[in-house]
Amino acid sequence: MYTMKDVRDKTGLSYETLKFYCNEGLIPNVKRNAYNHRVFDDRDVAWINSLSCLKNCGMSIREMKEYVALCLHGKESIPERKAILAIKRENLLKQMVALQASIDYIDWKQSFYDDILSGKTEYYSNILPLDGEE
């Protein structure tokens, strides 16, 4: 069994986040020791890591609660869970495209600056007035 500190160390989540997840019912079946402190087993830790992934996928707390509720229904809810994850996956792919476009721009701009600094390209700006313009 793991303490909150152990789970914090294993998952990288803060104590406050773990406590919040427990209080919100996102970690079902939380056990308590003789001192009434929360304790977790390996399955709980695996689930908490899943919650972190869902959060990183852009799920809100409300969506995570809905997902947990579906998970608690067992195998019969797999089609619904798959549909939820498919939507999240599509959104992540769109974000990847946007991020790649931003990375491409930065790479181009860095190369542009290198060319200016090396004298290969003459400096110009799209925001400064051209010579003779006010």
pLDDT tens-digit profile of 12-44?
999 999 999 999 999 998 899 999 999 999 999
Q: What is the dihedral of CA 4, 8, 9, 11, to 10 degrees?
A: 130
Indicate the pTM of the whole model.
0.77
H or E, element range at 31? strand 31-32
Mean pLDDT per 10-residue interval, the chain, length 134 residues = 94 94 93 93 95 94 96 96 96 96 98 96 88 68
Reduced to 3 states (helix: H, G, I; strand: E, B; else coil), residue 107 is helix
Contact, 115 vs 121, CB < 8 A? Answer: yes
- Taking the C-alpha atoms of residue 76 and residue 57, their distance in angstroms, rounded to an integer, is 23
CA atoms within 13 A on the CB side of 11: 28
In whole angstroms, what is the distance from residue 64 CA to residue 51 CA? 8
Question: Do residues 40 and 2 touch, judged by C-beta distance below 8 A?
Answer: yes
